[in-house]
């Protein structure tokens, strides 16, 4: 399997090369040259695999379609090491439960940091350690987080041989629990950098450093953000697992609703659908930062500056520049690298927008690719959390509430799976506002907010971040 850049670079690379690289040399994102196809017989085999061998075996089957430069036995062992009941708290790993009627919840938040990011990050940590050991190399991971990626990456990489993590986050914009999860870690290979700005400033810094090829090469900079294909690939697996749990026959279809900020989570659903998984709709649920909803309604993709990026009660979606959106747009415009380059490197980078509303391909977003969207507000969030708890007896977090609210607007006859992205304790203040009570807290996190913090605050300045990395690597 070879991989190409969304912006048309001539290079074709193997999986383990892009695993450690992050962005392509032209600033594009990597995608497979073609999506492997799942026919009826293969889907039946995957159904049997999940039922008899479990999630780790399913993960191996999906990943092996994309990874041919890690020996099969090694890849199988990496999956088995990653997806265990001990780490994820349940034998099913991603159990599906009914909320009401055809509306289901796929629980992705049982990992070490109580957020869906653990599903990919735990695998990524093991892949990094495996490949770096095989090469005798080291890697300095530079990341950006709006809340959950950072802690998931740090918990996955802490103590790993040959890996340092430099994680940027928007200063003061994460929940106290999210901040405590990251900043309380005292491991020598973990570095937290709080940026005076919003998540998009953090993301821009990561991309700027990745595009400084001399610096990137000298300091062996890699990424764990969802611009890393390996992370997105790991997420494809739970779409298959959700589908297989919600159906008994391959003729059945399901839909998925995904709380979306950076478009990585739902982009994995797009990949699964392109592989042939019978997905009817992919429903994008945004909060007040509704750039993606605006695109799927109007065809106009218009990013917003820091002053117009709202601070909300579903903070992991407080994003106005969705990194992974480029992967979908590349497919939408017929995998035209030059066109994608013009839309993002010219349109977004220079004008802050592009407009496909009059382009015939825009209709394909819904008709060919199954995308629809909706928006949720703070008031919607509170009402949904309250309804789910008082009427249905289930407590959900703020982001999952955004998903449930939008999912209800798009319900049809097939099962609708909402991806649960975090546990309620991560956003306790809003849960208490909605329900008048605190959510349950796992015992291992008691008193986490009171632990000593290890974090440095910096302005949104690429050179200062680079200097900090140099200081800790030289």
Same domain, 410 and 304: yes
pLDDT of residue 445: 87
Neighbours of 63 (CB within 10 A): 22
Pairing label, strands 371-375, 279-286: parallel
- According to the model, what pLDDT value does residue 390 have? 98
HSE-CB at 157 with a 13 A cutoff on CA atoms is 31
Q: Are residues 412 and 278 in the same domain?
A: yes
What's this model's pTM, rounded to 2 decimal places?
A: 0.93
pLDDT at position 360, please? 95
Q: Are residues 260 and 363 in the same domain?
A: yes
Domain containing 79 equals 3-115+229-428
Residue 128 lies in a domain: no
Predicted pLDDT of residue 223: 81
Same domain, 248 and 323: yes
- Residue 254's DSSP bridge partners are 279
**Would you name the residues annotated as active-site residues?**
117
**For position 88, what pLDDT does the model report?**
96
DSSP classification of residue 36: P
Q: Work out how many domains the chain is built from and give that number.
A: 2
Domain-embedded: residue 435: no
Are 261 and 379 in a shared domain?
A: yes
pLDDT at 23: 85
Judge if 418 and 456 occupy the same domain. Answer: no
Residue 439, domain member (yes or no)? no
Instruction: Give the per-residue pLDDT at 260.
Output: 94
* 165 and 294, same domain (yes or no): no
Distance, CA of 76 to CA of 315 (rounded, Å): 36
Domain membership flag for residue 211: yes
Is 16 inside a domain boundary?
Answer: yes
β-strand pairing of 221-222 with 139-144: parallel
Gap between the Cα atoms of 305 and 218, Å rounded: 32
123 located within any domain: no
pLDDT tens across the length of the chain (474 residues): 999 999 999 999 999 999 988 789 999 999 999 999 999 999 999 999 999 999 999 999 999 999 999 999 999 999 999 999 999 999 999 999 999 999 999 999 999 999 999 999 999 999 999 999 999 999 999 999 987 888 999 999 998 888 999 999 999 999 899 999 999 999 999 999 999 999 899 989 998 998 898 999 999 998 887 789 999 999 999 999 999 999 999 999 999 999 999 999 999 999 999 999 999 999 999 999 999 999 999 999 999 988 899 999 998 899 899 989 999 999 999 999 999 999 999 999 999 999 999 999 999 999 999 999 999 999 999 999 999 999 999 999 999 999 999 999 999 999 999 999 999 999 999 999 999 999 998 888 899 999 999 999 999 999 999 999 999 997
Residue 31 counted as domain residue: yes
> What pLDDT does 474 receive?
78
Q: Where are the beta strands (DSSP E) in 101-222?
A: 103-107, 139-144, 163-170, 190-196, 221-222
Outline where DSSP puts E strands in 293-415: 300-302, 353-355, 371-375
Please indicate, yes or no, whether residues 271 and 368 belong to a single structural domain of this protein.
Answer: yes
Domain match, 212 and 233 both = no
| φ, ψ at 418 (rounded to 5°) | -90, 130
Domain-located, residue 441: no
pLDDT computed for residue 227 by the predictor: 85
Please check whether residues 165 and 213 belong to one and the same domain: yes
User: What is the model's pLDDT at position 305?
Assistant: 87
Asked if residue 294 and residue 210 are part of one domain, the reply reads no
Looking at the fold, whether 110 and 237 belong to one and the same domain comes out as yes
Whole-number pLDDT of residue 369 = 98
CATH number at residue 183: 3.40.50.1100
């Amino acid at each position: 399997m070879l991989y190409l850049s969304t912006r048309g670079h001539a290079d074709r690379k193997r999986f383990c090369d892009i695993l450690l690289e992050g962005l392509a040399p032209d600033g594009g994102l990597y995608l497979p040259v073609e999506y492997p196809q799942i026919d009826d017989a293969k889907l039946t085999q995957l159904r049997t695999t999940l039922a008899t061998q479990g999630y780790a075996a399913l993960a191996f089957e999906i990943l092996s379609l994309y990874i041919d430069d890690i020996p099969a036995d090694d890849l199988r062992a990496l999956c088995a090491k990653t997806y265990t009941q001990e780490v994820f708290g349940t034998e099913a790993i991603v159990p599906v439960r009914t909320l009401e009627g055809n509306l289901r919840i796929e629980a992705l938040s049982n990992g070490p940091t109580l957020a869906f990011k653990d599903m990919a990050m735990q695998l990524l940590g093991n892949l990094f350690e495996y490949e770096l050991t095989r090469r005798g190399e080291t890697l300095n991971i530079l990341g950006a987080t709006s809340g959950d990626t950072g802690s998931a990456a740090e918990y996955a990489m802490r103590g790993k041989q040959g890996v340092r993590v430099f994680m940027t986050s928007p200063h003061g914009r994460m929940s106290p629990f999210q901040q405590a999860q990251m900043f309380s870690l005292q491991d020598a290979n973990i570095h937290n950098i709080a940026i005076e700005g919003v998540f998009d400033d953090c993301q821009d810094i990561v991309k700027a450093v990745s595009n400084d090829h001399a610096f990137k090469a000298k300091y062996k900079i890699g990424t764990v953000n969802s611009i890393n294909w390996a992370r997105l690939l790991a997420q494809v697996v739970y779409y298959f697992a959700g589908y297989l749990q919600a159906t008994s026959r391959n003729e059945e279809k399901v839909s998925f609703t995904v709380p979306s900020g950076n478009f990585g989570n739902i982009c994995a659903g797009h990949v699964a659908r392109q592989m042939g998984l019978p997905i009817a709709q992919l429903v994008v649920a945004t909060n007040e930062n509704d750039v993606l909803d605006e695109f799927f309604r109007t065809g106009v993709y218009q990013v917003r500056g820091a002053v117009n990026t709202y601070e909300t009660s579903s903070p992991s979606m407080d994003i106005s520049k969705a990194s992974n959106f480029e992967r979908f747009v590349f497919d939408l415009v017929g995998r035209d690298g030059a066109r994608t380059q013009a839309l993002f490197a010219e349109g977004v980078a220079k004008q802050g927008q592009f407009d496909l509303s009059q382009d015939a391909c825009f209709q394909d977003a819904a008709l060919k690719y199954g995308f629809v969207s909706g928006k949720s507000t703070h008031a919607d969030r509170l009402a949904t959390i309250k309804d789910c708890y008082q009427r249905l007896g289930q407590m959900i977090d703020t982001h999952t509430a955004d998903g449930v609210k939008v999912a209800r607007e798009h319900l049809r006859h097939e099962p609708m799976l909402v991806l649960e992205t975090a546990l309620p304790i991560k956003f306790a203040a809003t849960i208490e506002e909605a329900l008048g009570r605190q959510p349950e807290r796992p015992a291992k996190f008691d008193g986490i907010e009171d632990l000593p913090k290890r974090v440095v605050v910096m302005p949104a300045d690429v050179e200062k971040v680079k200097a900090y990395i140099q200081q800790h690597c030289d």
